[in-house]
Chains A and B, each alone.
Chain A
Amino acid sequence: MTVHNLYIFDRNGACLHYSEWNRKKQAGISKQEEFKLMYGMLFSIRSFVSKMSPLDMREGFQCFQTSRYKLHFYETPTGLKFIMNTDLSVPNARETLHQIYSTLYVDYIVKNPLCSLGDPLQSDLFSARLDTFIKNLPYFNPRAA
């Protein structure tokens, strides 16, 4: 079990934060292009999912998986998007993503008046806490499984 990487996007599609842990393969394009590609895909999936759904949805798009990894998606009502890639054995990580939002993002970014919202996050405190938080997840360590 492991966590590969994590993206945070704001409601306008700007990538506020990116960090990676166990990423063996890079995209081969610049990070800026990668963020745009990622956001564009998420935007399309959200609209696809809501149009194709035969029933009213409460939560909408939650995750997808391929043969090698799983992408977990969590969006707040304010349009912040948290995306975490893990390996396939990790169960639903929405609660974890909500925790990153409520205990890390809100506490260290929103409540810090010097952090302007909508710009890439500069807070070292936030990055450090996030790193600790992810590394302490029960499924972070590949050998913990």
Chain B
Amino acid sequence: MSRQSNRTTDNKKMNSELFTLTYGALVTQLCKDYENDEEVNKQLDKMGYNIGVRLIEDFLARSSVGRCQDFRETADVIAKVAFKMYLGVTPSVTNWSPAGDEFSLVLESNPLVDFVELPDNHNVLIYSNLLCGVLRGALEMVQMAVDVRFAQDTLRGDNVTEIRMKFIKRIEENLPAGDE
């Protein structure tokens, strides 16, 4: 079936530097607009969330991924399909908790920080925090409440960038109130 026949955007690869620089400009502006970095982190997360709830639809439409049966499958899809599709990198999935409800995405390189060096007065800033929001928003739309945060960051002197994901709960579907 020619499912994607009238998609025009699929084969066009945008220059990723434009993306990286646009993101940099966004963070810079937020740092100017807000007094403290924690507020900037919060705003980045919120924007990411709003992107995530839309991006998930694009992702599901483009890939033929169905509903994941468990969190391990979810982890694989995020790392091998989604990161590859949108950022061109494939993080490794490691550090599973014994209960299987927590894992880490380890990125050798983070495309968002290609040209960045954090000045000393921004040591609270989580530069790529948008990604956490995106992951949280996207997963929420497929009924998974997940806690996402940066555990390591090359910008702060760590060797790798590590995003820690913790499964909180399955969001139950309910029949809307007042419906008979």
Contacts and interface: CB of A to CB of B under 8 A. Distances in A.
B48 to A, nearest CB: 15
B119 to A, nearest CB: 32
B138 to A, nearest CB: 9
A32 B67 CA distance: 30
B58 A110 contact: yes
B3 A103 contact: yes
Interface in B57-79: 57-58, 60-62, 65-68
Interface residues of B, number: 25
B15 to A, nearest CB: 20
A120 interface: no
Contacts of B175: 13, 40, 43
A43 B174 CA distance: 9
Contact of A79 (B4, B7, B68, B143): B143
A105 interface: yes
A77 B57 CA distance: 9
B163 to A, nearest CB: 22
A40 B179 contact: yes
The size bracket of the interface on A is 20 to 34
Interface string A90-122: 000001001101110111001100000100000
A66 interface: no
Contacts of A26: none
Contact of B57 (A13, A14, A110): A110
Nearest to A104: B6
B161 to A, nearest CB: 28
Interface in A55-73: 58
Contact of B67 (A77, A80, A99, A117): A77
Contacts of B65: 77
A82 interface: no
A2 B77 CA distance: 38
B62 A110 contact: no
A106 B175 CA distance: 25
Contact of A77 (B1, B53, B142): B142
Contacts of A105: 57, 61
Contacts of B143: 79
Given A79-B143, A103-B7, A11 B57 contact: no
B33 interface: no
A140 interface: no
B11 to A, nearest CB: 15
A76 interface: yes
Interface of A: 11-14, 36, 39-40, 43, 58, 76-80, 95, 98-99, 101-103, 105-107, 110-111, 117
25 contacts: A11-B173, A12-B176, A13-B176, A39-B176, A40-B175, A43-B175, A77-B67, A77-B68, A78-B57, A78-B60, A78-B141, A95-B1, A95-B3, A99-B1, A99-B3, A102-B3, A102-B60, A103-B4, A105-B61, A106-B61, A107-B7, A110-B54, A110-B57, A111-B58, A117-B53
